[in-house]
């Protein structure tokens, strides 16, 4: 399972890299699947409302009204109908790719279960919305969908009267049935919207709008495709015959051929098992989670930076509880904390320069304390030699995730406070620092890359001190399959650093710092020995 996931993750990265070239990393559609899903939903909603103006519910009138708007008013209502259909289809593709991608990126287990679980009903609601929509047109495809669906539903022991009896003969079908279908076709998308809203509740600043350029590209392409290949309207439904051959929408109705071939019991059992499997995936197997971030009130002044930077709404500010002269303090919700460490990087107390006493910060990761990170950095420096020494602070999900000499791998590069880069350079641990994060198109922890860039650019607190020469910092935003790009960038950077000469105004580590680092490292070794 793990190897399959890793293979898929690398596969996504390999596909997404050329898309970065074609679209630009910020417009990369695979890095904007969620926002695109929302965008398409609004296209479908807008066109649906417009179509409803012209749509007539009734056994005969439904088809006639769709025919009229498709043929006589193809340039606006017909266009809206094609957009309605193609945006729905595209939404299905995007939803399924989003599902597989999140699984491949392992962003569905542990404390991220909520977004996954709430996404499962979204799948059902998308399909149900599409199926009820096809029904309304009342052409041959609608008749096929109506018959197949009702016969499948009748296999369940819930319905007093076989629903399929509504479609026995032309006389048996009532216009009121269409009224019911219109109601369902409005009610189900509203439930879908509700579920989509719930789906994004546990993340901060959820992106529900794709970049404007990508929105324009998508909408323009949909309009062009709608004019080039308008949505097909098949012959009118006729219950005295049956549609033996239909042009099928393979995105929304792709399972209907299976329903034709397999007994209903198997279909319902399969649907139930798949749903249970999807719901259960976050616990198959459960992920062993690190301990959630911990607040140390003696070093917390309630500055709210950790709350601002947390991508998962895991931190809230609450009234001060220790009598310190600050109005509030940070509080971590352990059920939401994914231990990315971004809060630690945002805390103004996270400074590795402190020499006296243990290095404790305002908000720290119990399993990867700032003190440990400092010790790791000092230990990694011992592996560097010669001119142009480069220390790499790497993200666990990017091109530099593999352990390497002179490299410290963190859950997210935004876990490293800017003062850590200052520390590395000013203590002569390296001649330059490479910050190797996730691919630029998307941060594994949503906002880590953005926050790091803004902190280095001195646009976001905690800012990089002005004394740190920017030319001695290199940022590389590449995914796991781009290690060659990273190596090339590191070689170039090392050559540039060698040409620059040593860092001015540097000082060596103090004996206390060396001692502290050695004792922390020894403690970590002891911990590792004790742990199974």
Q: Residues in the site for another protein, rule: CB under 8 A?
A: 19, 21-24, 27, 29, 82, 85-86, 89-90, 93, 144, 148, 151, 154, 160-162, 164-165, 168-169, 213-214, 217-218, 220-222, 224-226, 228-229, 231-232, 239-251, 256-257, 260
d(CA 419, CA 361): 13
Smallest gap, in angstroms, from Cβ of residue 27 to another protein? 6
Q: Which is nearer to another protein, 101 or 407 (by Cβ)? A: 101
Q: Which is nearer to another protein, 89 or 289 (by Cβ)? A: 89
Q: Between β-strands 390-395 and 363-364, what pairing exists: parallel, antiparallel or unpaired?
A: unpaired
Q: What is the number of other CB atoms lying within 10 angstroms of the CB of residue 111?
A: 19
Smallest gap, in angstroms, from Cβ of residue 237 to another protein? 11
Q: Which is nearer to another protein, 82 or 351 (by Cβ)? A: 82
Cα 427 vs. chain centroid, distance in angstroms? 38
d(CA 338, CA 321): 25
Smallest gap, in angstroms, from Cβ of residue 251 to another protein? 7
Convert 400-426 to b/e letters by CB count within 10 Å (16 or more is b).
bbeebebbbbbbbbbbbbbbbbbbbbb
Smallest gap, in angstroms, from Cβ of residue 164 to another protein? 5
Q: Which is nearer to another protein, 170 or 501 (by Cβ)? A: 170
Q: Which is nearer to another protein, 229 or 318 (by Cβ)? A: 229
Q: Which is nearer to another protein, 228 or 284 (by Cβ)? A: 228
Smallest gap, in angstroms, from Cβ of residue 213 to another protein? 7
Smallest gap, in angstroms, from Cβ of residue 163 to another protein? 9
Query: Environment class of residue 305 by beta-carbon count within 10 Å: exposed (0-12), middle (13-18) or buried (19+)?
Result: buried
Edge-to-edge, what's the strand order for the sheet holding 432-437? 407-410, 390-395, 432-437, 473-477
Smallest gap, in angstroms, from Cβ of residue 14 to another protein? 16
Q: Which is nearer to another protein, 43 or 315 (by Cβ)? A: 43
Smallest gap, in angstroms, from Cβ of residue 168 to another protein? 5
d(CA 158, CA 147): 18
Q: Which is nearer to another protein, 151 or 333 (by Cβ)? A: 151
Cα dist. 343→110, 185, 364 in Å? Answer: 19, 44, 8
Residue 126 in contact with residue 34, Cβ under 8 Å?
no
Q: Which is nearer to another protein, 252 or 390 (by Cβ)? A: 252
Nearest to 495 by CA among 384, 390, 405: 390
Nearest to 218 by CA among 439, 440, 33, 74: 33
Q: Which is nearer to another protein, 167 or 423 (by Cβ)? A: 167
Nearest to 472 by CA among 502, 501, 497: 497
Q: Which is nearer to another protein, 4 or 232 (by Cβ)? A: 232
Smallest gap, in angstroms, from Cβ of residue 235 to another protein? 11
Q: Which is nearer to another protein, 60 or 232 (by Cβ)? A: 232
Contacts of 404 (CB under 8 A, 6+ apart): 392
Smallest gap, in angstroms, from Cβ of residue 396 to another protein? 29
Contacts of 482 (CB under 8 A, 6+ apart): 13, 17, 399, 439
Q: Which is nearer to another protein, 169 or 201 (by Cβ)? A: 169
The count of C-alpha atoms lying within 13 angstroms of the C-alpha of 382, restricted to the half-sphere facing its C-beta, is 7
How many residues in the chain?
532
Residue 129 in contact with residue 181, Cβ under 8 Å?
no
Question: Residue 390 forms beta bridges with which residues?
Answer: 432
Smallest gap, in angstroms, from Cβ of residue 25 to another protein? 10
Angle between helices 79-104 and 2-23 (to 10 degrees): 130
Smallest gap, in angstroms, from Cβ of residue 78 to another protein? 13
Q: What is the number of other CB atoms lying within 10 angstroms of the CB of residue 200?
A: 17
Positive or negative, the CA dihedral 58, 64, 70, 76 is negative
Smallest gap, in angstroms, from Cβ of residue 210 to another protein? 12
């Amino acid at each position: 399972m793990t190897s399959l996931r890793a293979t898929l993750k690398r596969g996504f990265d390999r596909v997404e890299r050329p898309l970065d070239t074609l679209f630009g990393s910020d417009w990369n559609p695979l890095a904007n699947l969620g926002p695109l899903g929302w965008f398409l939903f609004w296209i479908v909603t807008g066109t649906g409302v417009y179509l409803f103006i012209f749509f007539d519910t009734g056994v005969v009138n439904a088809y006639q009204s769709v025919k009229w708007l498709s043929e006589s008013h193809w340039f606006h209502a017909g266009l809206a109908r094609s957009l309605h259909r193609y945006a729905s289809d595209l939404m299905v593709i995007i939803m399924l790719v989003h599902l597989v991608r999140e699984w491949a990126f392992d962003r569905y287990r542990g404390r991220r279960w909520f977004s996954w679980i709430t996404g499962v009903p979204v799948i059902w609601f998308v399909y149900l919305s599409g199926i009820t929509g096809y029904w309304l047109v009342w052409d041959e495809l609608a008749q096929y969908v109506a018959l197949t669906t009702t016969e499948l539903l009748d296999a369940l022991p819930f319905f007093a009267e076989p629903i399929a009896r509504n479609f026995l003969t032309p006389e048996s079908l009532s216009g009121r049935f269409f009224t019911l279908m219109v109601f369902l076709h409005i009610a189900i998308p509203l439930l879908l919207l509700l579920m989509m809203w719930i789906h994004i509740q546990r993340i901060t600043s959820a992106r529900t709008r794709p970049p404007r350029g990508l929105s324009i590209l998508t909408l323009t392409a949909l309009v062009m495709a709608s004019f080039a290949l308008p949505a097909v309207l098949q012959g009118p439904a006729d219950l005295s015959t049956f549609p033996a051959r239909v042009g099928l929408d393979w995105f929304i109705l792709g399972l209907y051929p299976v329903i034709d071939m397999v007994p209903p019991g198997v279909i319902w059992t399969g649907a139930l098992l798949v749903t249970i499997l999807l719901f259960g995936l976050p616990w198959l197997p459960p992920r062993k989670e690190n301990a959630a971030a911990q607040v140390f009130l003696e070093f917390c002044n309630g500055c709210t930076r950790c709350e601002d930077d947390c991508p998962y709404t895991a931190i809230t500010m609450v009234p001060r509880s220790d009598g310190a002269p600050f109005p509030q303090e940070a509080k971590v919700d352990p059920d939401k904390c994914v231990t990315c460490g971004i809060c630690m990087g945002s805390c103004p107390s996270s400074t590795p320069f402190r020499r006296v006493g243990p290095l404790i910060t305002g908000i720290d990761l119990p399993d990867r304390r700032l003190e440990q990170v400092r010790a790791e950095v000092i230990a990694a420096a011992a592996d560097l030699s010669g001119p142009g020494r480069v220390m790499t602070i790497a993200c666990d999900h990017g091109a530099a995730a593999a352990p390497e000499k002179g490299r410290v791998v963190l859950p997210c590069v935004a876990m490293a406070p800017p003062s850590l880069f200052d520390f590395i350079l000013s203590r002569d641990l390296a001649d330059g620092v490479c910050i190797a994060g996730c691919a630029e198109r998307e941060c594994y922890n949503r906002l880590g890359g953005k926050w790091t860039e803004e902190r280095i650019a001195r646009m976001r607190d905690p800012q990089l001190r002005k004394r740190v020469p920017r030319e001695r910092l290199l940022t590389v935003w590449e995914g796991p399959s781009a290690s060659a790009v990273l190596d090339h960038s590191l070689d170039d950077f090392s050559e540039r650093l060698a040409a620059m000469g040593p860092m001015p105004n540097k000082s060596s580590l103090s004996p206390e710092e060396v001692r502290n680092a050695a004792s922390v490292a020894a403690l970590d070794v002891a911990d590792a020995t004790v742990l199974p």
